[in-house]
Amino acid sequence: MSDMIFKRLVFAVGFALSAASAEAGKFEKVLDWNGTEIEWTLEGGSFIKDGKLQERSKNIAVPPVPAGYEFRAYLLWSGETGHLDESTKRITLANSQGTREIKAQKIYSERSTGIIYTAVADVTDFLKKSRGPMVLSGLRSDAMDYARGNQFSQAGWTLFTVRRKGTAGPKKIRFFAGTEAVAPGEPFELPLWNEPKAARIMRLGVSGGHGIAGNAGGTLVNGKSVSGGDDWRGSSGELWDCHIYDLSKWQKKRAWTAAFDPLLEWIFPSCAIAEFLLY
């Protein structure tokens, strides 16, 4: 997309969600859990319908938390604006517990046609006692006159929830968040695992924006396609993708690296979740 070829300018605003330090313009590890039992969900959707920005999301299911499990929930929302301000850091969440304005603990952004951003909020306390679905409203994204008749580049949300028993065990999950403007022919690589001991990757979750059917955008692990098909195609609503890939048949290795590789159009990944079995 020729109107997006600019020198990248990266911002990192807000407070860290974890002890990991942020690398400007790259993803950072937000959560790194071991456990005897780990279960997680990843759901996402678009605020764009028929080319227009919607005020509200669809109903979003929140899984119950059984007794005896430790629980975390992270909400991400992404858009593109002419400039960052307080409106990009906030979104409204409504569920059985009421309505609350959620403020991001961290917001990642990078120069594109405008400024693409991903905001991340720990919503554990709000959701662990919730009942029924939740609805989001008030996501900020501006029309940027994109290619193929799209006024917007992205306007989407992602909800990642995870629960575990025990703090030691053979299972591990890592949650990475950030934002990247990935150009065709310039794959963005995200190291998931590089340790002395081998691990088997069991599942990979990915979410992000500007997926267009026919773009031939691929998600790879160690150079191999996770699906053999078009991974960035707007499968979770217009210009938004959210996928979980079963990789449990792959052999154990000491290093695992994900890569996002668009062929025709730019893509904007916002998070990745990697589940491992340790040996």
How does pLDDT run across 10-22, given as a tens digit for each residue?
333 333 343 332 3
Q: How far apart are CA 267 and CA 210, in angstroms?
A: 5
CA distances from 214 to 148, 231, 259, 267 (A): 12, 10, 19, 13
The strand pair at 188-209 and 268-278 is best described as antiparallel
**CB-based burial of residue 263 (10 Å sphere; 0-12 exposed, 13-18 middle, 19+ buried)?**
middle
Do residues 132 and 36 touch, judged by C-beta distance below 8 A? no
Please state which of the ranges 50-54, 61-65, 88-92, 117-121 shows the lowest mean pLDDT: 61-65
Which of the four pLDDT bands, split at 50, 70 and 90, describes residue 176?
Answer: very high
Please tell me which residue, 187 or 128, carries the higher pLDDT value: 187
Question: Where does the chain show beta strands of DSSP type E?
Answer: 10-14, 28-35, 37-46, 48-49, 52-53, 70-81, 90-95, 98-103, 106-111, 115-122, 135-137, 156-165, 171-177, 188-209, 218-221, 224-225, 240-246, 253-261, 268-278
Q: How far apart are CA 169 and CA 139, in angstroms?
A: 39
Which of the four pLDDT bands, split at 50, 70 and 90, describes residue 148?
Answer: low
Read off φ and ψ for residue 88, nearest 5 degrees: -75, -20
Residue % of the chain over a pLDDT of 70: 89
Alpha helix stretches (DSSP H) within 65-209: 124-127
Q: Output the pLDDT for position 144.
A: 81
Q: How far apart are CA 45 and CA 32, in angstroms?
A: 25
pLDDT at position 170 over 60:
yes
Q: Output the pLDDT for position 10.
A: 33
Please state which of the ranges 96-100, 175-179, 191-195 shows the lowest mean pLDDT: 96-100
Tell me the average pLDDT across 65-93: 94
Which of the four pLDDT bands, split at 50, 70 and 90, describes residue 146?
Answer: low
Q: How far apart are CA 136 and CA 47, in angstroms?
A: 9
Average pLDDT score over the chain = 88
Please state which of the ranges 61-65, 199-203, 206-210, 260-264 shows the lowest mean pLDDT: 61-65
CA-nearest of 134, 125, 121 to 57 is 134
Please tell me which residue, 211 or 24, carries the higher pLDDT value: 211
On the CB side of 129, how many CA atoms lie within 13 Å of its CA? Answer: 4
